[in-house]
Every structure is written in structure tokens, then in C-alpha cells.
Structure 1
């Protein structure tokens, strides 16, 4: 696949967060981009405004028959008419990961993998490289607040890529620098067992280019099996790691800290987003930037100007009376980090979490973990499970989580939330989930304001 010789490309599932980044990559190169998605969203409307042709009906009369390349997402069902037509008629049909694979072959590639944290770390790295003037092409799984997009380009042949473990797609990448943030069990519908998933992350590290570097979170299970010519470990505060944060101070919903390494130190780093886990994420990103030779002053300025990612510990409201945080957390460990950090930053406030479980399989496999993490809140509201690509599973409902939660809990439809909030004000509110719970952010913000 020669990405430089493509004039027309068609995307099936163009509105996905990862797919849209690739679409923007081609669009900025002057390639004619068009595609299909199931429903119109804010993101697809932005793509249309940028010049891409998008339709929302699975109809072979609407696809681009002159396309040189067809890219599809694994979330698209095999029976999709347009996908079938392209395959039946001999077009080059590839997954998003195949395009990213080619990019890692032609550019200096920094890839970030992990069950959670990868969107924040990859966006932090991309921002540090861009803000400092180093330059990079960023392929992200979230919308950067600084740039209001999930892709941006540079003349420099350096790519920062969020490496997605779903469908094993990250195993196609060949990084020069690989970051690994977490190996907690997830996507067991794909992997079958936690051990098989860990095997995949270990295989990811074996794909690092010769003389490349692995930057892995300290304390990962099976850490000794991770492979790289050079390996650095980062941590939040454990001084047994190669790089870690010290002297952490909480300041106005953010943090100030020093980054310590056995060979270097950067003091008084200021991070203006919440979540103690984001301090650890910043340590990983700073370690990458230092490895690339970016100076301490430029690193500090870039971290201080980092505004975060949409729906990653995003402050929808933050004042003396009301804090409302919206977050993408959809795994028990993500919820644990989110709730723990919010309560530490705003002690003494009643914490209410509104959570929408994502996927029937994930709910079934991780119900105990969800209940444990959500019980850290003072009050929980559960929405029905968001199915995404799955069909219902008999007996798997939000009740599986609710019956194990040890604090007051209710299950209610998304449509009832704002009315319930009118009667039940809470000084620290969190909405969390990877489905369509983000549609509540605007009405809740309007109500609370």
C-alpha cells in the first residue's frame, strides 16, 4: 500500500474516532475522501465541513466506485452491503490498522497502547511535540481540547499513534518508541481470557523496531516478559521506577510536581487538569519528550498549556458551589482512578456518579469490578447498558452491577436524569461511560448553571 499514490479513498464507518483521524490524514494530503456512517454526529458534521462527502444509508448506489482504497472499521458487520460490494468487485479493502501499519513503516513512530490511559498519554505526547516546535503527525482516539481535533499534521516524518488493542489491531504496528500504560483485562469477547490479552500486549512489545525503546508503566503484571532493546519504567510515585513524580501538590483542581529520573530532573511541572492518574500519564509523556531531546523549559511550558481531552476528566463546571466532571471511563480501573481523584481534589463534597455500562460482554465479565469501583462514590445512578456493536445477552443488565454496589444506587433511563437532578442537587457530579451518555453533558451543564 503506497499511501502517496492514492487519489480517492472511501471509509466505511468514517465517524469513528480512530477512523476519522485517518480520514483527516488523507484529506489534508489532498486526497478525495468520502464515506458512510450509521448516524450523523458532531464529528461527522465537522468532517463534512472539512470537505468530505458522507452519507448515512447503507446503499451501494451512494458509494465511490472510483475509490483507489477502501478503509473499514472492525465494528462494521460482515453483512454490510457496501463492504460486501467492494469485496465482491476486487477493490483494495483494508482495516484502519493496515493504514497505521504503513505509517509506522514510513515515519518515526511513537505508539501508545494500554487498556486505559492511551488516549491521554498519546495526546499529551503529541501536544508536547507540537507545542515545543519538534513537530509530529498525531493520530488520536480522542478530541484534543487544545486543537479541537483528533488528527493534526506536520512536515516532520514523526507519527504519534494511539494503538488500539480491540480486534488485536495494534499488533500490526512497528514503533520506534512504544508506550504501554496498562494490561488490565478487557475485550474478553475478543481475547477469551485475561492471560491471552496479556500475551497480546507482550507481543506488541516484540514488534518494536531494532534499537527501539519501550516506556512501560512500573508494576505491570508479567513486566519481565516485555521485550525491547531499551526499556524504561515510569510510575506515579514509586522511586524504584526510572521516572516518577515527586513532591506532588494539588492546586485549584490541578497539580504541581517534579519529575525525577536517575539521570535528570524537571522541577515544578504544572498540570492544569484533574486526576492523579493524569500526573502519571504526564510522567510517561515527559519521558518520551526528554528521550527525543526536547529541553526542560519547553516541556514545562507545553505541560502547563495542555488543556486535556474531551471527556477525559473534563470539567464541564468548576466553581465554589458546583463541580461537574464528564469522563469516558468504561472500565473498573478507570472508574476507580476517576472517583478517587475527584474526591481527593474536592474533599467533603457528596459525590454522585451517573454511569452508563458499555457492552453486554464487558458488563458480564467485569460486574464485580464495576461494583467495587462505583461503591467509592456516595451515590450511584446506573443507566441501561449501551450495546454498541453487540446484541443483548440473556440475564445481563445493569442490575448485575447494582445488586453488588454498597452505596445508595438507582437504575433509570437516560431521559429521566435531568428531571431527577432537579430534585437531587449534588456538589460533585460525575457522568461516565463510553456510549451515548455524552449527550447528557449539555443539558446537565445547562441545568446546573
Structure 2
């Protein structure tokens, strides 16, 4: 790494890419990058004095980066289109170009790495592990896939030490494009292996094979903590532990809702951690907490420290994030973009607000994902009382004939449903009789969160 002076990110606005960008800047490198949209996260990077250009023209890149290919490392995300002008130039001029996952694998090679993988749940679970370690004053660093509410960042830096091999590094291990196969963790969590990213994998069997290869890379002296019922444990030589809400080596007991909070115990092989009152809601978050607690116990964090950390953990932005919570009106935003995630989210909302009318605003993410899981999306979205469906967010994809929001809407089994534009949504919402509003999706629906929050942040008064 001493050979590099300049680090250029193509797709710097991604949550994982931005964490790496911050790490390099904190360690004395000159950092710049490209992203197509001026999101809140991109603006934050700019405010931190990281140069970000929003055009893919080569001329938009810093001149000193272009002039010194021998000392410039390019890090890119596979979500960038193949014909991206800057990427074409960088390839043609022999710049060293690596995926984020490759660089992350290099950085974590000499650290005690905890890799958190899964088709859903990995962002919250990894951030809970990181929070427990930070609260227990364990020297650790973390590269997370979301902005933590506790720290306002997706990167936690360790304290300087001459014994880097003792630092624990928490990494969100992303299965997209098999990126997590660059990691060789000492400890791993696998939350789920559902079918996803079929535009990359083709079949669910290929997804499972990729997870098996990932767990085969765990240190033989290490440990795998996987959700009970997954069929990947035989692929590793590490010690295997299981967890879930109600089965496995680590599980929850006495789950109840008190004062709009989930309260539960964690039963583990050596005893129990009792009366945990979580700030973040959701049955799925109880399960995520069990996995994180299991790893913390494995790392000899005292039970009382784990309980304190779980009760002070405030979640990740866009993961069951309350925007408005007042009498008569609740607005929650969530990043869910897979049918299983949407189902878990909406079931938890209904459990917290029994009998309340739920209006869901959903933006499908990717044409291929909408095509592959249309029936699952329709079933999970039918849990809401009203559905306002936005157009599909294409991200890196071109449209697919016949795959539209209209196609998805037809399959949804509730009568109160309609297609709506983002502009129309902000006009219609105040006119609707709404009690609980939720926005769901992984595209640019996040740009609507603040405007919707402003619509309902204060009680409506009649003049």
C-alpha cells in the first residue's frame, strides 16, 4: 500500500465504498471519486473535503490522479455500467483497478476479522457487533454497510497500536458479485442464504454454493455462527454454532412488547442474558441481536456489557428508522428490497401497532429482481392496508420488456393500491387518511424521506 498516493473511487457514493474512502483519507491518502447522484452521503463526503464529480467524463477527474497511474489505485463497484467513460479510460491506460471487496480483503488480512454475511440482515448485525465491541472498549474497527445512528458513520476506526493483529475488524461481507470470497475471516456470521442477485448467480443453487465457499474460508481455529436451518455448516472446518428466534445454540426466550419496545432474553450454552429492552423494533432485529451477542460472548465480552450495548443500540439509518412518532401519526423508513425483508418489516410494524391502518410506499429495485421475485413481492406487500407503488429503480440495468410496476401491482392482493410518481406522492399523502406510513426500497426513494417527514413532523392545525 505504500506504493499508492492517490485513491480514486468509481461509485464512491455507495455505502461500502464511502467507508473505504474515509479509511484511506484518515490514513493520509489523497482521495477522490465519481458518483452519478448527489445523495446525502455524497454531500457528506464532499463536506469532509473529498472531491466527488458527478459526470463520467475523464476531464472531471483530478489532473494529478490522471497524470500518475503508477501511484494511483482505482477502486470500483460492479454496479458501475460497463461503458462508463472513466472506467474505459482507466482500463485503457493500465491503471491498477480493484473491486472494493479485493481492497477490503487486503486491509483485513492481518486483523482478527469478523465477517457478517447474508442475503439480508448483515448490515444491522454487523453494526450491532461493532457497537458491542466499541461499548465494551475492545480495540476494533468496522466497515459497515449503513450509517449507524449511534456514531453517525459507516466506518469505525481502531485505536493506534503496534499489535495490529490483536485488532478486531468487523466487515460486512457482501455476496453480490461473490465479493465476500476475498475475505478469510476468523469468525463469520451468516444470517440468510435466500435467493437474491439472480442476475449475477442465475439460480438459487449458485447462491448457496457461493455461501458454502465463503464459510470454507473461515479460519479452521475460528467459528461460524449461522442461522438455524441453513445448509452450509458442513462446508467449513471451523466450529459451527446456530442461532434463531426459537431454535439453535443461541435463541430468544420470553419475547414480549412493553411500552412499544421488544423485550426478550437470550439463552446461550453457558446461561442467559435476561430482560433486554431493545430500542430498535422488529422480530428480525431480535434475531440479529442474538447473532451479534453470540459473537461477543465468543470474544469474551461480559454478558452485562452485551446487555448494556444492545439496549443502547439505536440502529442503522434506513433500517426500521422512525422519522415521525407522535399521537395519531407514525412514519417509518426501511431499506428492505427483498420479499423476505419486506415481510419481516411489515409483520413487525403490525405487531407494534395492532389495528392501525398501514400505508406502504414501495419502490422496486432492479428489473431482474422484480421479475424474479414478483410473486414474493406481491405477497409481502399485501400485508399492508394500502400500497402506493413507485416505478422500478433501474440502478445498473436496462428495462426488461413486460417487467413494470404495473405488472407487480396486478399481483398484489389488496384492493387499495395504485401506481404513483414521486412528485404525485408528496401531493397525495397529506390528503389521505393515514395512521402509519412506511417507505420501503433501496433505490432513490431515500430522497423522499425528508419531504415526507416534513409533511407529518408537526401536528396538522385547522385555520
- Normalising by the smaller structure, the TM-score range is over 0.9
| CA–CA separation in structure 2 for the residues paired with 1:5 and 1:271 | 46
> Secondary structure, in 3 states, of the residue corresponding to 2:74?
strand
| CA–CA separation in structure 1 for the residues paired with 2:427 and 2:38 | 27
Mapping 1:338-357, distance limit 5 Å: 338-357=345-364
Mapping 1:175-214, distance limit 5 Å: 175-214=185-224
> Secondary structure, in 3 states, of the residue corresponding to 1:323?
strand
The structure-2 alpha-carbon separation of the partners of 1:62 and 1:381, relative to structure 1 and needing over 3 Å to count, comes to closer
> Secondary structure, in 3 states, of the residue corresponding to 2:144?
strand
The structure-2 alpha-carbon separation of the partners of 1:279 and 1:85, relative to structure 1 and needing over 3 Å to count, comes to same
> Secondary structure, in 3 states, of the residue corresponding to 2:377?
helix
Q: Deviations over 1:35-86 (max 9, x none)?
A: 1121222112211222212212222233312343111111112222222222
1:424 aligns with 2:432: yes
- Give the one of 6, 9, 17 matched to 2:7: 9
1:95 aligns with 2:99: yes
> Secondary structure, in 3 states, of the residue corresponding to 1:303?
helix
Deviation at 1:431, TM superposition (A): 0.7
- Give the one of 233, 241, 259 matched to 2:266: 259
- Give the one of 409, 418, 438 matched to 1:402: 409
- 8 Å CA contact retained: 1:253, 1:272: no
1:81 aligns with 2:89: no
Match of 1:235 in 2: 244
Deviation at 1:212, TM superposition (A): 1.4
What are the ranges of 5 or more consecutive residues in structure 2 without an aligned counterpart?
458-463
Of stretches 321-330 and 82-91 in structure 1, the one that deviates more from structure 2 is 82-91
Match of 2:461 in 1: none
- 8 Å CA contact retained: 2:359, 2:437: yes
> Secondary structure, in 3 states, of the residue corresponding to 1:146?
coil
| Aligned-residue RMSD, C-alpha | 1.4
- 8 Å CA contact retained: 2:211, 2:232: no
Mapping 1:269-308, distance limit 5 Å: 269-308=276-315
Mapping 1:38-437, distance limit 5 Å: 38-63=36-61, 64-65=65-66, 66=68, 67-155=71-159, 157-220=167-230, 222-238=231-247, 241-407=248-414, 408-437=416-445
Runs of 4+ with deviation above 4 angstroms: none
- 8 Å CA contact retained: 1:10, 1:71: yes
* TM-score (norm. length: structure 1): 0.96
Of stretches 430-439 and 47-56 in structure 1, the one that deviates more from structure 2 is 47-56
Deviation at 1:13, TM superposition (A): 1.1
| CA–CA separation in structure 2 for the residues paired with 1:447 and 1:89 | 50
> Secondary structure, in 3 states, of the residue corresponding to 2:49?
coil
| CA–CA separation in structure 1 for the residues paired with 2:131 and 2:172 | 13
The structure-2 alpha-carbon separation of the partners of 1:35 and 1:224, relative to structure 1 and needing over 3 Å to count, comes to closer
What are the ranges of 5 or more consecutive residues in structure 1 without an aligned counterpart?
none
| CA–CA separation in structure 2 for the residues paired with 1:85 and 1:342 | 48
Deviation at 1:5, TM superposition (A): 4.7
- 8 Å CA contact retained: 1:381, 1:409: yes
> Secondary structure, in 3 states, of the residue corresponding to 1:358?
coil
- How many pairs does the alignment contain? 444
- 8 Å CA contact retained: 1:213, 1:230: yes
Mapping 1:9-48, distance limit 5 Å: 9-48=7-46
Deviation at 1:343, TM superposition (A): 0.3
Deviation at 1:270, TM superposition (A): 2.0
> Secondary structure, in 3 states, of the residue corresponding to 2:423?
helix
